[in-house]
Amino acid sequence: MLWLILIAMVAITWFYLRGEDLSPYDGPVGESFDRGQGRNEEHDAVEASFKVGMGPIQRASRKERLKLMREYMDGISESQQIDAEIRPVVAGGIPAEWVLAPGVNTARRVLYIHGGAFMMGSPRSHRNITARFSAVANAAVLAIDYRLMPENSRKAGIEDCRTAYRWLLQNGPEGLCAADRLFVGGDSAGGNLTLSLIDWLRDQPLRSPDAAVALSPLTDATFSGPNVKRNIETDAMLGPMFSSFMRLPRFVLLWLGLFQNRTGPSEPVISPVFGDLSGLPPTLVQASESEILFDDARRYVNKAQAAGSPVRLQTWNHVPHVWQMFYPDLTEAREAWEQIGAFIAELEPAAEPARAA
């Protein structure tokens, strides 16, 4: 009987959980901004801040760790100067906030979906990102507080993103008003939700976003990329947090993903890279060559390009996961936001240029 169970588990893993072989998309890495100068004092300062913040969390009991990590993430923005107005709002039943850089055009809107491993993070924790996004896009940013795991299912957060998008189509900071220009963005887990959302929108009778931006997105919940393990030591943010998890055998990771997400980890709604990537809106993906999710970005972009979608990849080296949050302290963060502003500007009608970064 035990052998039959083991054989069934192997068959389920092989034919259902692991998904297609993505190694054919390990080719070109996109546009690299690596200057070949190695690490510097800016990188060291950022990593030192991680160690200070994560030290008490790593020493805490497993029961207390999630609570402390949530508090740590929400406190990140407290030490950063945010040049934007914050307005709390409820977006179709979803708690959210408007983030408005000075003088932005509120008919131009961004739905921003924060990261945090689907278990932490909030609009508050990501205000440095959303304020900068508002400035470079000349747009009102709606940052949503979607439902988190483990209190809720993974699909609850996905549904919240869809609900907020529908609401954003017809609502702005001043009330009912259709959006002139509409963008979607997110980082890490929020990047995953962003890419899942645009894939879903392609097949819906709804207006598609004019563009999407995904920062260090998770695209493959089967963790098949070689850099998941190879970059553990160079990923200053995710390495210390998830090194024990990522070193587990992939067979174990796949089954953990099944139970955690309550669906197969290779299902496109969970892992966008396994879906149909044709017909997507213009999309910019940025990733660090040093992070464990580098292959997620590279493989997604290469597969999307092969399907004919206007998706591009930009990479930097020696920077942490979602380094854009360290604007303006990191040179690479300033460069990344300049590129995001330029990407949006390329797509603008001549009469409505985006702001310079």
- Active-site amino acid positions: 188, 291, 321
Amino acid at the residue 129: I
> Both tokens of residue 123?
């609009």
CB 112 within 8 A of CB 135: no
Residue from 349, 29, 33 nearest 211 by CA: 349
Instruction: Examine residue 150 and say whether the peptide bond preceding it is cis (omega within 30 degrees of 0).
Output: yes
Task: Give the whole-angstrom CA distance, residue 168 versus residue 161.
Answer: 10
**One-character DSSP codes across 156-220:** HHHHHHHHHHHHHHHEETTEE---SEEEEEEETHHHHHHHHHHHHHHTSSSPPPSEEEEES----
Only one residue has tokens 């979906």, namely 113
Task: Give the whole-angstrom CA distance, residue 13 versus residue 266.
Answer: 10
> Cβ neighbours of residue 29 under 8 Å, at least 6 residues apart?
289, 298, 313, 315
> Both tokens of residue 100?
């408005």
Amino acid at the residue 9: M
Question: Reduced to 3 states, what is the DSSP secondary structure of residue 92?
Answer: coil
Instruction: Examine residue 217 and say whether the peptide bond preceding it is cis (omega within 30 degrees of 0).
Output: no
